[in-house]
């Protein structure tokens, strides 16, 4: 990604934050878009930048909800402190899960994250004294943002709350943009591309993956905490396997390897679900069709589709659908887009063979 590219992405993210209130009636729904966008950003860091398909994102999301719920209902901590707490809890849990999961690759990595997902669900279910079990945590207050006990900013109305989430969202988005373009982030890309070579040139691959996990867990937990703060409940469903699946689906639909694609994926899913669920109770089936279409024809998700259309309109050749997602990542997108295709095929097959 060029410097311009990441500026454009930040600009797009800020624009989204500003446009949502203009086109939407419900502040809660708008907040929900940004909250899930945060969770999807966390997932994208693992899937798009590190090549890890984690079915454990719901763990961190749920733990974030619980951490905030418990801190606010039992300990009466200030809101900002509870959010920080949620991030820490999420990051620590992610390091725990990651420490085991990254020992394996491919299928077994996925199965391990799935197993932990189940484990944490039943843990939350059985520890009903702490988590409220089947009922979840209820009546989570939403106190005003304050400094040393003095309330400064009310969060009670949906649009006030949206404003707060929006500021946090932009900050996190900006930090993740820097991260993905940093020396560290570029190394993650290298690990995704060729793990054996990354180790052979001196990188401790496991440590990098663990760090990516921790960051992803922290960001995802922040999303979970925001949702609990908004809805006033931390339901058992927030730590359910279904949450992991939903976050993954949003990530894939939006497109991986580009941070703004995650915002698109979350917005599309949340708004599509909101609209369709009022029309047809079986709307999830349509989502299934869409996922099939994305998996078959548009690996780069909605972002990739948009990019292809944009390039077509400007009369430039579209990026090869299988290779493009990664080609746009590197600082060499134009060369990849216009270069000869003979070697692209071999390069793609080679990278696909790796787990």
Partner 1 sequence: MTTTPPTTAATAGAPLLRARGVVKRFGKFVALHGIDLDIMPRTVHSVIGPNGAGKTTLFHTLTGTLSTSEGSIVFDDHDVTPLADHQRVQRGIARSFQVTSLFANLSVRENLRLAAQGVHRSGAFNGWHRPEGVRAHAGTVDQTLQRMGLEKQADITAGLLSHSQQRRLEVGMALAARPKAIFLDEPTSGMGIDDLDAMKALIRGLRDDHTVVLIEHNMGIVMDISDTITVMQQGRVLVEGKPDDIRRDERVRTAYLGNMITGGRA
Residues that bind partner 1 (CB under 8 A): 3, 178-179, 181-187, 189-190, 193-194, 196-205, 208, 211, 323, 326-327, 329-332, 335-336, 339-340, 343-344, 346-348, 350-351
301 vs 324, beta carbon nearer partner 1: 324
**SS3 labels along 77-101:** CCHHHHHHHHHHHHHHHHHHHHHHH
- Min dist CB 352 to partner 1, Å, is 10
Residue 141 or 334: which CB sits closer to partner 1?
334
| Whole-angstrom distance, CA of residue 293 vs CA of residue 296 | 5
231 within 8 A of 35, measured Cβ to Cβ: no
Q: Which is nearer to partner 1, 317 or 331 (CB)?
A: 331
User: What does the alpha-carbon distance between residue 240 and residue 87 come to, in Å, rounded to a whole number?
Assistant: 19
148 vs 340, which CB is nearer to partner 1?
340
What's the CA gap between 206 and 108, in Å, rounded?
A: 15
Residue (179 or 290) nearer to partner 1, CB: 179
Q: Residue 5 Cβ, how far from partner 1 at the closest point, in Å?
A: 12
- CB closer to partner 1, 277 vs 349: 349
Cα–Cα distances (Å) from 269 to 10, 29, 64, in that order, read: 21, 12, 21
Distance between CA atoms of residues 91 and 213, nearest Å: 8
Four-point Cα dihedral 328, 261, 287, 37, nearest 10 = 150
Cα 160 off chain centre by:
24
Strand partners, 146: 151
d(CA 227, CA 223): 6
Q: How far is the CB of 215 from partner 1 (least distance, A)?
A: 8
Q: How many angstroms separate the CA atoms of 5 and 11, rounded?
A: 10
Q: Is residue 65 a contact partner of residue 234, using CB atoms and an 8 Å limit?
A: yes
The nearest distance, CB 323 to partner 1, in angstroms, is 8
Compute the least distance from the CB of residue 343 to partner 1, in Å: 5
Q: How far is the CB of 190 from partner 1 (least distance, A)?
A: 5
Least distance in Å: CB of 103 to partner 1? 14
Which residue, 192 or 227, is less far from partner 1 as judged by CB?
192
């Amino acid at each position: 990604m060029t410097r311009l590219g990441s500026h454009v992405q930040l600009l797009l993210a800020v624009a989204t934050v500003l446009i949502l209130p203009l086109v939407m009636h419900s502040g809660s729904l708008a907040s929900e878009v940004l909250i899930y966008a945060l969770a999807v950003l966390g997932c994208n860091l693992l899937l798009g930048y590190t090549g890890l398909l984690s079915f454990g994102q719901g763990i961190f999301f749920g733990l974030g909800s619980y951490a905030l719920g418990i801190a606010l209902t039992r300990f009466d901590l200030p809101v900002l402190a509870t959010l920080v707490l949620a991030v820490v809890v999420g990051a620590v849990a992610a390091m725990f899960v990651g420490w085991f999961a990254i020992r394996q690759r491919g299928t077994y990595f996925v199965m391990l994250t799935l197993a932990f997902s189940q484990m944490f669900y039943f843990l939350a279910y059985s520890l009903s004294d702490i988590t409220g079990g089947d009922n979840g945590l209820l009546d989570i207050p939403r106190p005003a943002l304050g400094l040393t006990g003095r309330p400064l900013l009310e969060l009670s109305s949906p649009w006030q709350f949206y404003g707060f989430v929006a500021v946090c969202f932009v900050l996190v988005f900006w930090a993740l943009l820097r991260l993905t373009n940093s020396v560290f982030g570029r190394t993650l890309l290298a690990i995704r591309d060729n793990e054996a070579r990354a180790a052979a040139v001196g990188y401790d691959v496991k440590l990098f993956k663990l760090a990516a996990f921790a960051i992803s867990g922290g960001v995802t937990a922040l999303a979970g905490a925001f949702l609990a703060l908004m809805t006033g409940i931390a339901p058992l469903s927030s730590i359910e396997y279904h949450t992991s699946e939903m976050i993954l689906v949003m990530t894939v639909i939006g497109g991986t390897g580009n941070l703004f694609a995650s915002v698109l994926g979350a917005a599309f899913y949340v708004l599509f679900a909101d609209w369709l669920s009022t029309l047809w109770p079986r709307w999830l089936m349509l989502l299934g069709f869409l996922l099939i279409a994305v998996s078959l024809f548009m690996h780069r998700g909605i972002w990739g589709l948009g990019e292809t259309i944009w390039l077509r309109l400007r009369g430039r050749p579209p990026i090869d659908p299988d290779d493009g997602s990664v080609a746009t990542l590197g600082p060499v997108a134009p060369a990849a887009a216009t270069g000869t295709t003979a070697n692209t095929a071999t390069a793609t097959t080679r990278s696909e063979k790796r787990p």
